[in-house]
Structure 1
Amino acid sequence: MGFADILDEIGGFGRFQMIHVTLLSIPGLLMASQNLLNNFTAGTPGHHCTIPNGTSLAVSYNASALGLDDREMLRAFIPMDAGSKLAKCTRFTEAQWHLLRTNVNVTGMPANLTDTETEPCQDGWTYDRTEFLATIVSEWDLVCTLRPLKQMSQTIYMGGVLAGAIIFGGLSDKFGRRALLIWSYFQLATLGTCTAFSPSYLAYCIFRFLTGMSVSGVILNAVSLKVEWIPTKSRTVVGTISSFFFTFGQMILAGVAYSLRDWRKLQVAVCAPFFIFFLYSWWYSESARWLVLNRRSEEALRQIQRVARINGKPELAEKITLEVLESHMHKEVQSSKAIYTVYDLLRTPVMRRISVCLMVVWFSTSFAYYGLAMDLQKFGVSIYLIQVIFGAVDFPAKLLALASLSFLGRRITQGTCLILSALIIFANIFVPTELQTVRTTLAVLGKGFTSASFTCVYLFTGELYPTIIRQTGMGFSSTMARIGSMAAPAVLILDEILPALPSIVYGGAAVVAGIFAFFLPETLNVPLPDTIEDVEEKWATQKASEKKQTEKEMVALQEVKENAETEDSKATGLNAL
C-alpha cells in the first residue's frame, strides 16, 4: 500500500495527526447529546388530570380547613391506579368526598357520595415540575392516548440519521470528506438550534429529522478523515480514544440537562456549539487518499506537503513530488477511473461477505444499545444519575475493548462483545422486578458491552472497506444501525404480551450478530485497502491459505491415525505369535 509508506515518511502519527484527530474528536462530546437527547427533552413528568378551576380553588380552601395537603385532597377527584398512585389519564365525573375519610361536608357535597364513574381528562393535565420544568411531553400533552407520539419523535429523528447515512455516505465519496463534514456541522448547528423554537410538534419532528441527517454526516466523515490520515499501527489506539469523547459526552449531557431542565434551553445548549466546530473545520485537510483516487493528485500533493511541514519535516515536503506520489499509488489511480456504486459492495465474493456481516453487526449493536439506553425512566432512580452511570461504565468497557483490539484483534473483540451483551440481557430476564438494583447493574453492564461493540465496529468498518468506496460502505452498513435504533423503541411495546419478550428479542439479535462477526476478515496491523481488488486479493487469498492449512492439518492427522493403526496391527500380530 503506497500511501501508507508516504504517511510514515512524513512523520507517521506526528503533530498534524494529533491536532487533526483532537479537533475531529471534540464534537463527539456533543454527539451523544444528539442521540440520547430524547431522554430529557421528551421526558415524561408525573401527571394527572387537571380539575376544573372552580373546584381547584375549593380544594385549596378546604384542604387547609381539613388539615390535608393538596395532594390528599386530589383523591376526591382522581382515582388511584394499581400502584396506589393517582391515575394519569382519568378522573371522577363527580367529586368523591367520602374517600377523604372525613364526616365534614365540603363545598356542600355529602360525605357519603359513592358515584365512582370516571372519564378521560377533559381539561388537560397537571404536571409535576420536580424532575423536569418543561419537556415536549408537557408542552404538547404527549400522554395517555398521545403517548406513542413521544416515541415517534425519536423514531423520526433516527429516520433522519438513516437518511443522512445513505445520502451523505454517497455524496462524500463524490465530493470529499472535508466538504461534507463542514456542511454537516453547519446544518446541525442551524437546524438543531431552530428546533428549540418549534411552534408545534410537527415542526419539532421536521427539524429533528433534518438534524438527524446532519448527525450522520458528522459521524461518518469524521471517522473517515481520521482513519485516512493515520498510520496503520496507530488506528486502534486513536479509534478507541476518540470514542471516549462520545462516552464523556453522555456524562456532560446529564450535567447540562440537570442544570437546564427546560427542553428548549437544553436544545440550544447542545446544538449551538456546532457553530464553533463549523468555523474551525476549515483548517482540516482533505483526505489525500481520496484526492488521488479522484484524479486530483496536485491538490493531494499540496495536502501531503502541508502535513509534512506541520510534522516538522519540511525537507520531505520538497522531496515528495507529483511523480513520486503517483508512482506510489499507480494501481489505485488506475482503478479510480471506474465508477462505483452500492452494487459494488455486493458484487464480488469477499466484499459481499463483508457487507452482509457488517449489516447484521451494525443492526444488532444499535438495536441492543438503544433498547437499553433510550428508556432510562424505567430504572426507578433519577434519570440524571442513571445517565451518568451509563456513561461512566463505558470507560472501563472501552479500555477493555482497546486491549482486546490491540492483542486479540478486531474479529474476536467484535463477536465477544456482542455475545457477552446478549448473555447479560438474557440474565436480566430471570432477576425479579423487586431487585431493582441488580436489574439496573446488569443493564449498565450490558450497555457497556454494546458501547464497546460500537467502538469496534466503527474502526472495523473503516478498515475493511477500500478507500475508493469507503464512505459508501460506511453509509450502507450504518444504515442498518439506524434501522435498529428506529426499531428498538417499538420492541418495548411487546412487554404488554410478555414482560420478558423485549429482552429476548434484543439478546437474540446480539447473539446472531456475534456469530456473523466471526466470519469477517481480521484487520489488526493490516494496511488500509484502497481498491476493491486489494480487498479481494488480500482476504480471498487469506481465506484460501487458511483453507489450505486446514486441509494440510487434516491430512497430517489422517497420516498419524493410519500410522497408529499400522502400529496396532503389528502389535496385535506379535501378540498372536
Structure 2
Amino acid sequence: MEEMDHQARNGVSFLSENPVIPDRRNQDAAEQVELQVLLQRSEEKSAPHITVVPDGQTPPGEVTPSETADHSITIDSLLDKMGSPGRYQLLLALALSACMFPVVFCDLATIFYTIHPDTSTCALPVSNETAAWISQQSPMNLGNNTSETYLLKIFHGTHNNTCEDLDSLDVGSVEGKECWTNMQHQFEENGTWSIVAEWNLVCSRYWLVSFATTVYFLGVMIGSMAFGHLADRFGRVRCILGCYACFLPLGIATAYPDTYLLFLILRFFLGFFVQGVQSVSFVLLMEFCSPRYRDAVGGLEGLFGGLAVGALSGAAYVFPHWRQLQLCLIIPCFLALSEPFFLRESLRWQTVHGKVAEARQTVVKVLQWNKLPPDSTLDEDLTCIRESLLKEESKEAGYTWLDCFRTPLMRKYTLSMSFIWFNVLFVYYGISFSTNELNGSLHLNLVLGSLFEMPLNLVAVYFMRRFGRRRTCFTYFATCAVLCLTAASMDSTFLGVDLDTARTVIVFLARASLAGTYSVVFVYGSELFPTVLRNTAFGICICCHTFGGVLTPQVLLLGHLTHPSVPFVIFGLCCITSCVILLTLPETLNRRMPDTVQQVEGK
C-alpha cells in the first residue's frame, strides 16, 4: 500500500510540474483550460497505474511466492498439510505410545521383585550361647529342633511381625552369620521368588529393598536431564534407537546378577536408558503431531500405560520368579527393532540444524505414506520454516534456567508446576508400590486398578476441552486427596465388619484419579510457560517429576517403620497442597500461548 500511495503521489507531482497558468486577459479561455486539467486528473486517478518492468523481476507492490510463504507457512501448518492425522501419524502414535510398555514394566516391576515372604527360618547350631538366647524367644517362633540345631522361625506379617527376635541376634557372631547365610524363605504362593529372598533383605536389612527402588529412579532422573540435551544435539531418532540398543542387553543382564550390588548397578542404568526412550519418544511424537491433537496423544499414552500395568500383572502371574519375569518383560522391546524401517526424524530438528534436504525427504516419505501429493512450494516452505525457527532459537539462546525464577509470575509458575509434577509421580507410584500390602490377590488387584485407570485417561481429554485444564487437574487431585485420607483412616475392621476389600477399592480409585492427571499436567504446563523458556521450564519440571520416584520408596519405608497409614496421610496432604496451588494459577483453555516473559508478566 505504501508503494502504491507513493506512485500516486508521483503522478500528482508530474502534473504539478507543468502547471497551466490562466491568461487573466481571457478569463473564459482560462476557465475552459482549468476544467480540462481537472478532468484529466480525474481520469488518471480512476485509471489503473501500470508499471513496465523487465522480464524476471517482480513488479513493485506485488508479493513473491516466497514472501507469501514467509508470512503464512509455519511448522504446524506444514504438519497439517502432511495429514491431520494421516496413516503415518497414526502409526507413529501407536508405535511411540507403545514405549509405555517397557517404561511401566521397569517402573512397576519393583512391586513383584520386592514381594516379602510370609515367614523365614534359619537353623542355629546348638551351643551354650544359642541355648541362652533361644530360651528368651517365644515358643511359636521355634521350629522343630534337633540335637544339633535350633530352628528359628520369623514372621513378616503386618499384624504379626517377629523381626525383633532375629534382630536381637548378634550378626557378627558365629550363630548370627550361620543364620543369615542359611536362611530360607516361604511365600504365600508357591514358586514365588523375589530379591528379598534372593539376598535375605528382611528385618534389619529391609531398608535395602527401598534403596534398590530409589537407585533405579535416580537413574531415571539423571536420564531425564541427559537425554534432553542429547536429543537436541544428535537427533530424536538416533537417541531412541541408541537407548533401545543399550536397554535390551541391560534388561537381559538384569536377570542374571549374582550380587545385590550388581543388581543395583544394572537397575540404575536400566532406569537411565528407559527414561531416554520415554522422554525422547514423547518429544518426537509431539513434534510430528498437529497442535489440536496433542491433548489426545497424551490420553493415548495414558491408555497404553494402563494396558501395560495389566500386561505386567499377567506376566508376573505366569512367571512368579523375578529372574524369569525380568526376561519376559524384555521380549516386547524387541519389537522396537522394526522402528528404523518407518521412524523418521523430527522436521523441527532437521530444519533447525540446516538439514533441509533431509527434511524434504521426510515430508515426501510421510506424504507417500498418507497418499498425498507433494506441494510445489515445499522447498520455499522449508526455507522459510528454518528461518522462523532459527529466529525462535536465537531468542531462546539468551535465556538460562535462572530466568525461570527472575520475575514474579515466572517464578510462581515454575515452582507451582514443579511441585504439581512432583506430586503426580510421587503419589501415583507411592500408591502403586503399596499394592502388595492390600487385601486380596496382588495380580488381580493390579489388573482391576488398570481397568479403573484407562477410562479416566480418556475422559481427561474430554474434560480438558470442555471444562479447562485447571479445573480438570483440580478435580483429579481433590478426588485423590479425599480417597487417600479415607484409606488412611480405615482399619481392617469396624464394628466387626471387614473393611479390607472396601479399602482396596478406595486405593484403586485414588491411583486411577492420579493417572488421569498425566494427560493434563503436560498440556497445562506447555500453555503456561512462554516459548523462549518452555523447554527450559519443562526440564526443571521433569527433573522434579522424576525426583518423586526417588523419594517414594523412602516414604513407604517410613510407613513400614511407624504405621501403614502414614504414607497415605502424606499422599493426601500433597494432593491437597496441589489443589491450593492450582487455585492460584490461570486457566489456559482457548488462550494464546505466550511467546515472551513480558507477555507472561503482562507488560
Taking structure 1 as the reference length, the TM-score comes to: 0.78
Q: Which letter does structure 1 place at the counterpart of 2:243?
A: S
Corresponding position: 1:238 with 2:297: yes
Question: What's 1:507 paired with?
Answer: 572
Mapping of residues 389-408 of structure 1, within 5 Å: 389-408=448-467
* Higher deviation after alignment, 221-230 or 152-161: 221-230
SS at match of 1:372: helix
Aligned counterpart in structure 2 of residue 334 of structure 1, from 374, 383, 391: 391
Does the Cα contact within 8 Å between 2:143 and 2:153 map onto a contact in 1? no
Q: Which letter does structure 2 place at the counterpart of 1:288?
A: L
Mapping of residues 167-566 of structure 1, within 5 Å: 167-281=226-340, 283-316=342-375, 318-321=376-379, 323-328=380-385, 330-337=387-394, 339=397, 341-346=400-405, 351-434=410-493, 435-462=499-526, 472-495=536-559, 496-497=561-562, 500-520=565-585, 522-524=587-589, 534-536=595-597, 539-540=600-601
Does the Cα contact within 8 Å between 1:52 and 1:123 map onto a contact in 2? no
Question: What's 1:128 paired with?
Answer: 186
Return closer, same or farther for 1:119/1:195 CA change in 2, 3 Å cut-off: closer
Return closer, same or farther for 1:307/1:441 CA change in 2, 3 Å cut-off: same
* Higher deviation after alignment, 497-506 or 252-261: 497-506
CA distance in structure 1 between the partners assigned to 2:438 and 2:538 by the alignment: 34
CA distance in structure 2 between the partners assigned to 1:126 and 1:417 by the alignment: 44
* Higher deviation after alignment, 248-257 or 70-79: 70-79
* Higher deviation after alignment, 491-500 or 217-226: 491-500
Q: Which letter does structure 2 place at the counterpart of 1:326?
A: T
CA distance in structure 2 between the partners assigned to 1:84 and 1:526 by the alignment: 54
CA distance in structure 1 between the partners assigned to 2:276 and 2:554 by the alignment: 25
* Higher deviation after alignment, 43-52 or 253-262: 43-52
Question: What's 1:15 paired with?
Answer: 87
Return closer, same or farther for 1:235/1:537 CA change in 2, 3 Å cut-off: farther
Does the Cα contact within 8 Å between 1:41 and 1:135 map onto a contact in 2? yes
Identity of aligned residues (%): 26
Aligned counterpart in structure 2 of residue 25 of structure 1, from 91, 97, 115: 97
Q: CA RMSD in A?
A: 3.3
Return closer, same or farther for 1:500/1:273 CA change in 2, 3 Å cut-off: closer
CA distance in structure 2 between the partners assigned to 1:512 and 1:172 by the alignment: 34
CA distance in structure 2 between the partners assigned to 1:92 and 1:474 by the alignment: 46
Return closer, same or farther for 1:239/1:150 CA change in 2, 3 Å cut-off: same
Q: Which letter does structure 1 place at the counterpart of 2:204?
A: T
Which runs of 5 or more residues in structure 2 are unaligned? Answer: 1-72, 127-140, 169-174, 494-498
1:442 Cα shift? 1.2
1:499 Cα shift? 5.1
Q: Which letter does structure 2 place at the counterpart of 1:280?
A: E
SS at match of 2:401: coil
CA distance in structure 1 between the partners assigned to 2:158 and 2:548 by the alignment: 33
Does the Cα contact within 8 Å between 1:256 and 1:266 map onto a contact in 2? yes
Return closer, same or farther for 1:357/1:157 CA change in 2, 3 Å cut-off: same
Question: Which structure is higher in RCO with an 8 Å CA cutoff and minimum separation 6?
Answer: 1
Does the Cα contact within 8 Å between 2:166 and 2:203 map onto a contact in 1? no
Aligned counterpart in structure 1 of residue 113 of structure 2, from 20, 26, 41: 41
CA distance in structure 2 between the partners assigned to 1:306 and 1:378 by the alignment: 51
CA distance in structure 2 between the partners assigned to 1:505 and 1:325 by the alignment: 51
SS at match of 2:241: helix
Does the Cα contact within 8 Å between 1:189 and 1:273 map onto a contact in 2? no
Taking structure 2 as the reference length, the TM-score comes to: 0.75
Consecutive aligned runs of 4 or more in structure 1 exceeding 6 Å deviation: 79-84, 466-469
* Aligned length in residues: 499
CA distance in structure 2 between the partners assigned to 1:476 and 1:92 by the alignment: 42
CA distance in structure 1 between the partners assigned to 2:521 and 2:505 by the alignment: 25
Does the Cα contact within 8 Å between 1:181 and 1:222 map onto a contact in 2? yes
CA distance in structure 2 between the partners assigned to 1:354 and 1:20 by the alignment: 32
Which runs of 5 or more residues in structure 1 are unaligned? Answer: 55-69, 94-117, 545-577
CA distance in structure 1 between the partners assigned to 2:421 and 2:553 by the alignment: 17
